[in-house]
A and B are shown apart, each in its own frame.
Chain A
Amino acid sequence: MNKHTSFALVVFIFLFLSLLVFLGFFIISPEVKEYRMQSIALAQQSSRVVQKELDYNRAYQSLQSLQEQEQSFDQAINRHFKLEDFEAYLDQYFLSFEVKNITTQHKKDLKIDTLEIRAIFDAPVRYYRFIDALNTFEWVAEIEDPQKFKGVAVGIEAYFTLKVYTRTY
């Protein structure tokens, strides 16, 4: 190897090492840095998603139990109110009845039908059963004060107000 060749070799080695440092600094190093950042972000995102999934599952279970619990009430409040069906229902508890002064009002997403009822029953226990049955009624109904009772020949005549709640869309 002559003197010129050795010099060229040294120059090439220097240039090559410079190129390697350049490539390492401008290509490999940023990529490695980016890779690490992405890995950290991915791990954080992954733990966030796991937490969200847990929260979602918890909320879903809670919702399911609530849905099971309120299924009948939910159906009742979404049921369209029909006076004929309601009268058939009253017929089971009272000797005779009269439904009058039906007024309807809307409150938020609820339709409230107010019914004034005059009914005759033979014994107070019939009236108690009727109120008990209201809580498992096909519609959502609430009895309102005043409740008036009057002794009549065949039993007791009651006057009361009933509010029937129906959900509107």
Chain B
Amino acid sequence: MSVSFIKPRPKSIFSVELRWFFSVALTILTMVLIAGYLLSQAVDQKRQELSALQKKEQELTKAHAVLLAEQKRLQALSQMHEEIAISNRIKKENVKNFFDLVPDGIVLEYVDLKENSLRLKGTTKSKRYFNINFQRALNSLFAKSKTSFSKKKDGKYRFSNISIMEVKGE
């Protein structure tokens, strides 16, 4: 009969190799699950960043639209400003040019300055003086210019002139 000197130990159903294998497998499995979790967290973070950027884009689009509307309003205002300023300047130039045109020997009593026509009444020392010094200038500025004269008691002439500018399409 053989005798053993070591104390008998309970035998595990898992061998050492199997235990090693399970440890490694468990570690790998845990790592895979942790990687999955971390990836999921990273995806969530990206989603949040994307959502924040989308919100920012929407806000920018809204703010940009407000800016563009204000810009449009100001552009319309700017155009109106320019049109009015030009119109006033043209009106002043028209009056100024007309008064500069009147020679010294002619006294104006009435001037009606419209966009396309001019009516004048006044006195001149002679018909010849009027025709040479004023009528020629009126003829060059207007398409039609007609003057009628009447003699005054003091020898001067009263004139009445109508000048019409050529209007496109007429």
How many residues of chain A have a CB within 8 Å of chain B?
59
Question: Which chain A residues border B89 with CB–CB below 8 Å?
Answer: 131, 135
Q: Is A27 an interface residue (CB 8 A)?
A: yes
Determine chain A's interface SS by DSSP, over half rule. helix
CA distance A53 to B57 in the complex (A): 9
The 8 Å CB contact of B32, one of A23, A39, A41, A45, is: A23
Chain A residues near B67: list those with CB within 8 A: 56, 59-60, 63
19 contacts between A and B (CB under 8 A): A28-B36, A38-B46, A38-B50, A42-B50, A45-B54, A46-B53, A52-B61, A52-B64, A53-B60, A59-B64, A59-B67, A66-B78, A131-B91, A131-B95, A135-B89, A142-B88, A151-B107, A151-B108, A165-B84
Interface set of A (CB-CB < 8 Å, partner B)? 1, 5, 8-9, 12-13, 16, 19-20, 23-24, 27-28, 31-32, 34-35, 38-39, 41-42, 45-46, 48-49, 52-53, 55-56, 59-60, 62-63, 66-67, 69-70, 73-74, 77, 124, 127-128, 131-132, 134-135, 140-143, 145-151, 165
- Using CB atoms and an 8 Å cutoff, list the residues of chain B in contact with chain A: 15, 17-18, 21-22, 25, 28-29, 32-33, 35-36, 39-40, 42-43, 46-47, 49-50, 53-54, 56-57, 60-61, 63-64, 67-68, 70-71, 74-75, 77-78, 80-81, 84-85, 87-89, 91-92, 95-96, 99, 107-115, 122
Q: Besides the contacts A12-B21, A16-B21, A28-B36, what 15 more A-B pairs have beta carbons closer than 8 Å?
A: A9-B21, A12-B18, A20-B28, A27-B33, A28-B35, A42-B53, A46-B53, A52-B60, A56-B60, A59-B67, A62-B71, A70-B78, A73-B78, A128-B95, A143-B88
